[in-house]
Homo-oligomer: A and B are copies of this chain.
């Protein structure tokens, strides 16, 4: 039994995933999701947190949830392996460090992450879809932002992950009006030209009510 990680973040405004380049057969030279075996004394979530820390150096403040299990009999040609996939979401994370059987690790824009090793393309697709869904009705978008953040930064998360454009004015009114969603810090931040933006932190609410509307735009990726 292994755990594999779909680690999502925003890098230079692009919805990106952490991938490792395989240094060994099978799938040598192909991109893969980071992961590893569950140790005998570990919980599944604990194994996922350990792998996340090994790859990124961070665990605190990173959202981590179970995504699903993948156990087709020959998904790994070497042996029968059932993997439990986890979805991790954090603010712009530091450049990754190579480790384990990975010859290299990098942030890759989701739309460019193609033809991964094993069934990792399926797992990535499911993870991205989970993230897109949860933006609608939870406060997950704030997990992509360093605190404190502006309303515009939060809107850019939705626009990058969903691949759509949202009306800045209606977006502002909606997120500031949802009770418990945002907590104003009272401070402001200047972003080049224009009026300074108010700064916020995550509020106590986990759910966004009413949910954010996702248009019918086609999804790249």
The residues of A with any CB-CB pair to B shorter than 8 Å are 1, 38, 40-44, 66, 68-73, 80, 82, 84, 209, 215
Contacts and interface: CB of A to CB of B under 8 A. Distances in A.
A43 B72 contact: yes
A80 B39 CA distance: 11
Interface-centre pick from A40, A66, A68, A215 (highest chain B CB count, 10 A):
A68
Contacts of A68: 66, 68-69
A44 B71 contact: yes
A69 B69 contact: yes
A71 B66 CA distance: 12
A84 B67 CA distance: 12
A140 to B, nearest CB: 15
A11 to B, nearest CB: 29
A82 B84 contact: yes
Copies of this protein chain in the complex: 2
A40 B69 CA distance: 16
A17 to B, nearest CB: 21
Nearest to A42: B73
Nearest to A68: B66
A41 B1 contact: no
Contact of A69 (B41, B42, B84, B209): B84
6 contacts: A1-B82, A40-B80, A44-B70, A44-B71, A69-B84, A209-B215
A84 B71 CA distance: 10
Given A1-B82, A82-B1, A69 B72 contact: no
Nearest to A71: B44
A38 B71 contact: yes
Nearest to A136: B137
Nearest to A85: B69
Nearest to A84: B69
